[in-house]
Amino acid sequence: MHESTVTTKGQTTLPKAVRLALGLSRGDRVRYVIRDGEIRLLKVQPVARLADLLARPDRGARQPGRDGGGYRARRYRG
């Protein structure tokens, strides 16, 4: 079990073992889930990483549009 102290500003330092267990490094974001008097700490995953997980294997990874700002919609050829 790991512990840390809450400062007068409401801040705390995550113990090294906790940072390692979650794969956290400087600048990473965490999410707090509060339920039944307990807190669950989760590493926030970047949206781009989640998009790759949702890509359909039969269509490959999505490709950025020509302007680099978004994704092209495929034309319907019915």
Evaluate whether residue 60 is within a structural domain. Answer: no
DSSP, collapsed to helix, strand or coil, labels residue 60 as coil
Domains in the chain: how many in total?
1
Domain-embedded: residue 37: yes
Predicted pLDDT at 11: 95
Residue 30, SS3 per DSSP: strand
Q: Residue 47: its pLDDT value, please? A: 72
Which tens digit of pLDDT belongs to each residue from 6-39? 999 999 999 999 999 999 999 999 999 999 999 9
Is the residue at 44 inside a domain?
Answer: yes
Residue at 1 is within a domain = no
* Higher-confidence position of 12 and 72: 12
Residue 2: predicted pLDDT = 93
What are 37-70's pLDDT values in tens digits? 999 999 998 776 666 667 766 665 555 555 555 5
Q: Which domain holds residue 31?
A: 16-54
**CA–CA separation, 28 and 17 (whole Å):** 16
For the chain, the C-alpha Rg in angstroms (whole number) is 20
